Amino acid sequence: MAEVFKLDLTIDENDVIGGAKEVLNVIRPHWMTDCVRFKLFTDGITNKLVGCFNQNNNVDEDADGTSDDVVLVRVYGNKTDLLIDRTKETENIRLLHRYGFAPTLYATFRNGLAYEYVPGVTLTPESCREERIARLVATRMAQMHKVKDGSIGNREPMLEAKIDQFLKLIPPTFSDPSKHSRISKIFPSAAQLRRDFDDLYGKLRRLDSPVVFCHNDLLLGNVIFSSDTNRVTFIDYEYAAYNHQAFDIGNHFTEFAGIDEIDYDRYPSKEFQLQWLRVYLEEFNGESCTESDLEKLYVHVNQFALASHFLWAVWALIQAEHSNIDFDFIRFGEIRYNEYLRRRDEFLSLAYQN
């Protein structure tokens, strides 16, 4: 496995391009600085990402390029180390790269990492519904869920521990009084949120959804589609860990609503889900699936989608306190929490016949 440089460097969130140049001096010393074009990607709400394109080789940011021509440098958002085990993240990337699921990791630094550019485009609320792309995502997720490696570590589902971690990070009083006022009008106390989740998770545990190695954050921006190779690649393994199979799928379905203009009318219909889940199960099990298995997974996925809404609503409260990124995390959290409330009874009432 190629060497991963460990750089004693902290990149200023307000000068990510300057920091990227310092990274390139180490991992691409043969690149001529004057011939490197930098592009700051703006679709992330947690981290800052800059693409470094070696123009000496006539690579354009809209071209496929090669791993030698393009490097991505990701700078973590403020205080995100409270939420994410960064050591485990880099271990996951290296492990999943070995299995063909993640890009090559080139370097880590104190508040970020540099990795291989994956040619293609991120999914949109429109493209994720295209049959050929949906089939590719379902197949790829099933393949990842079959990864078994002794080095991954704890095989307990991460969901309960992650929610517990997040709830403990909600400040009793938000440092910005206006934010505190807004949040107090939308959300119950952390203690009440904990009681609500304990009740929800008690019901979800009884489903006995298989525990597999999951991405856990498969929003549309974390899926890269290449029309040239007709394949999808998953990126950003910050939250990758063992978890309930149905959570990973349900979480992905909730992301069909989009980020910039969230619209839960885009949540996939039962007909779409059953087609997607059939592709998934046939790849995961290596054989055709029964209608009973299909209906069972459909119920599991939609009920675990509630846990997805809950998780990211609580996550948004922590981001509202700490993030320096210009994004309305309170509004995001409100939308996710309201969708959890709106769908809770409906989804928990779903049933299937054995």
CATH (domain of 173) = 3.90.1200.10
What pLDDT is stored for residue 63 in this prediction? 45
Domain count, the chain: 2
pLDDT at 80: 84
Instruction: Assess contact for 157 and 231: CB atoms under 8 A.
Output: no
At residue 83, the pLDDT reads: 82
Q: Count CA atoms within 13 Å of residue 280 on its CB side.
A: 24
Judge whether 322 lies within some domain: yes
Of 103, 119, 135, the position where a domain reaches its end is 119
SS3 state at 120: coil
Q: Which range marks the domain in which residue 68 is found?
A: 5-119
Same domain, 41 and 171: no
> How far is residue 249's CA from residue 321's CA, in Å, rounded to a whole number?
29
Task: Give the strand pairing for 5-6 and 105-109.
Answer: parallel
Total residue length of the chain: 354
Half-sphere exposure of 330 (CA within 13 A, CB side): 14
Asked if residue 180 is part of any domain, the answer here is yes
Q: In a 3-state reduction of DSSP, which class is residue 211?
A: strand
Of the residues 84, 119, 154, the one at which a domain ends? 119
Q: What's 81's domain CATH number? A: 3.30.200.20
Question: What gap in Å lies between CA 278 and CA 138, rounded to an integer?
Answer: 9
- 90 and 216 share one domain: no
Does a structural domain hold residue 354?
no
pLDDT at residue number 68: 62
147 and 83 inside one domain: no
| 174 and 27 together in one domain | no
Boundary residue ending a domain (100, 119, 138): 119
Q: What is the pLDDT along the chain (354 residues), one digit of tens a residue?
A: 568 999 999 999 889 999 999 999 999 999 988 899 999 886 677 889 999 999 876 544 444 444 568 999 999 988 888 888 888 888 888 888 888 888 999 999 999 999 999 889 999 999 999 999 999 999 999 999 999 876 666 689 999 999 999 999 999 999 999 999 999 999 999 999 999 999 999 999 999 999 999 999 999 999 999 999 999 999 999 999 999 999 999 999 999 999 989 999 999 999 999 999 999 999 999 999 999 999 999 999 999 999 999 999 999 999 999 998 889 999 999 999 999 999 999 999 999 877
Is residue 128 domain-shared with residue 91, that is, in the same domain?
A: no
Indicate whether 353 belongs to any domain: no
Neighbouring-strand partners of residue 231: 226
* Judgement on whether residues 104 and 230 belong to the same structural domain of the protein: no
Tokens describing residue 86: 């960064």
Entry pTM: 0.92
CA distances from 243 to 59, 139, 145 (A): 39, 18, 10
Between CA 293 and CA 278 the distance in angstroms is: 9
Cα separation, 226 vs 250, in Å, equals 24
In this structure, the answer to whether residues 259 and 287 fall within a common structural domain is yes
pLDDT given at position 69:
84
Same domain? For 300 and 215 the reply is yes
**176 and 266 part of one domain:** yes
